[in-house]
């Protein structure tokens, strides 16, 4: 039976065995000991995948391919071969842009992108538009910081070739109504790519129920290693993709007259892959499956609720946070966030400051940047108290100097 104990959960993360208030999980999560050990064990034992037949290589290949099934189960994909390994969400989105959409676009075609997106889900489409003569169309947020489905219907046209939308904002924690959005886009004949980098660890994900055409996420925000990511593609979209890179391990035959590609997903994974990353992800997913994540997320949001309540009492503060979100972004009137951040950091509180790779969203919010505290299940009420004390200290010191 899966359970969740905040104390036990926190003890699984070596980085937290020392006094450390880590509130930057929206950027990258910390890693549990079991994942660290799995990665280390691979490097100690050696062996590549697919190409060799000695025992270490066979074991590595089995674990490497078994992880596809773990990912398929996590997001409820129909088959493991719909899972393509990449270096992260960013590369996954770029792969869709170049391997699927690029050869379909004509000048004047449109790519619809929400205003809530991380740059990773905007820049690839802007670059592709430059390359093909297409254009990127903005789906704006409402004054409440949400995406309105009625507004989406007005933005979808006969020239729209893709809708790109986040599962969760990395600035406010806002979660769009994904099933409703995808259904409306599909009614207009528009495929949808969902950026799950932020949402995968906080929200249940069901690509079949949503009927998502593409779904991406990175292991490092799911308690896994850096440098490994996932691209899920619906079967019909997978069949429409064309490999953009050549190399070893993607063909069944090659000579100077031509080549025969392997089937997907292997034809999209040239070269020696990040084997340790996949094995580390497999271990992180095993850890994930041992925890009651509904209870873990409830604990995380409970902490964020308390932190938001405490911070809101400070004079001149503005919070940017969706209801029940594990993410709190904030600014103070007449105070520069970078100055606040410098003072907060002196209290050993790890926050994020800046535009969070979301400049269009910052413009929509009417700010140059924010401070951001992002919570995870390994945080505690003590972390909240440290955050509030540090922010209060920084605020008081800076306002006394005015």
Angle at 68 between CA 66 and CA 72, to 5 degrees: 120
* Residue 110, helix vs strand vs coil: strand
Measured over the CA atoms of residue 276, residue 281, residue 287 and residue 290, the dihedral's sign is negative
Helix (H) or strand (E) holding 285: helix 275-289
Beta bridge partners of 253: 260
Residue with tokens 């925890």: 291
Q: What is the CA radius of gyration of the chain?
A: 22
Q: How does DSSP assign 308-337, residue by residue? A: HHHHHTSTTEEEE--TT-SEEEEEETTS-H
Name the nearest CA neighbour of 219 among 130, 284, 122.
284
239-248 contacts at long range (C-beta below 8 A, 24 or more positions apart) = 239/264, 240/100, 240/104, 241/95, 241/96, 241/99, 241/100, 241/268, 242/99, 242/100, 242/103, 243/99, 243/267, 243/268, 243/270, 244/95, 244/98, 244/99, 245/270, 246/270, 247/271, 248/51, 248/272
Angle at 239 between CA 158 and CA 88, to 5 degrees: 90
Identify the DSSP state of 137: E
d(CA 311, CA 304): 10
Which residues are designated catalytic? 357
């Amino acid at each position: 039976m899966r359970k969740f104990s905040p104390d036990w959960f926190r003890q699984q993360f070596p980085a937290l065995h020392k006094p450390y208030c880590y509130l930057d999980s929206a950027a990258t999560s910390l890693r549990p000991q079991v994942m660290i050990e799995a990665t280390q064990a691979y490097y100690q034992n050696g062996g590549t995948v697919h190409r060799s037949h000695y025992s270490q290589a066979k074991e590595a290949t089995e674990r490497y391919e078994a992880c596809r099934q773990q990912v398929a189960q996590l997001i409820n994909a129909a088959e493991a071969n719909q899972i393509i390994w990449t270096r992260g969400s960013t590369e996954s989105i770029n792969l869709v842009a170049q391997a699927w959409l690029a050869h379909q676009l004509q000048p004047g075609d449109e790519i619809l992108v929400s205003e809530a997106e991380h740059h990773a889900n905007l820049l690839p489409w802007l670059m592709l538009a430059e390359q093909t003569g297409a254009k990127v169309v903005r789906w704006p947020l409402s004054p409440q910081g949400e995406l309105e489905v009625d507004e989406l219907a007005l933005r979808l046209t006969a020239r729209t070739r893709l809708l790109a939308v986040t599962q969760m904002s990395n600035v406010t924690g806002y979660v769009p109504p994904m099933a409703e959005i995808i259904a409306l886009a599909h009614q207009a004949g528009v495929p949808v790519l969902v950026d799950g980098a932020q949402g995968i660890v906080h929200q249940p994900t069901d690509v079949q129920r949503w009927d998502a055409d593409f779904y991406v996420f990175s292991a490092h925000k799911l308690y896994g290693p850096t440098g490994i990511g996932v691209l899920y593609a619906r079967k019909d979209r997978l069949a429409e993709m064309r490999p953009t890179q050549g190399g070893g391990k993607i063909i069944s035959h090659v000579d100077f007259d031509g080549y025969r590609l392997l089937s997907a997903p292997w034809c999209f994974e040239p070269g020696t892959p990040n084997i340790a990353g996949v094995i580390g992800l497999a271990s992180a997913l095993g850890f994930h499956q041992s925890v009651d994540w509904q209870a873990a997320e409830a604990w995380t949001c409970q902490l964020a609720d308390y932190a938001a309540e405490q911070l809101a009492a400070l004079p001149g503060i503005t919070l940017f946070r969706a209801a029940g979100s594990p993410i709190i972004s904030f600014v103070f009137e007449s105070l520069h966030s970078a100055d606040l951040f410098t003072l907060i950091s002196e209290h050993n509180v790890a926050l994020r400051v800046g535009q969070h790779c979301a400049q269009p969203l910052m413009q929509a919010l009417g700010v140059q940047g924010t401070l951001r505290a992002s919570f995870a299940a390994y945080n505690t009420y003590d972390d909240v108290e440290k955050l509030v004390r540090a922010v209060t200290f920084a605020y008081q010191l800076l306002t006394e100097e005015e």
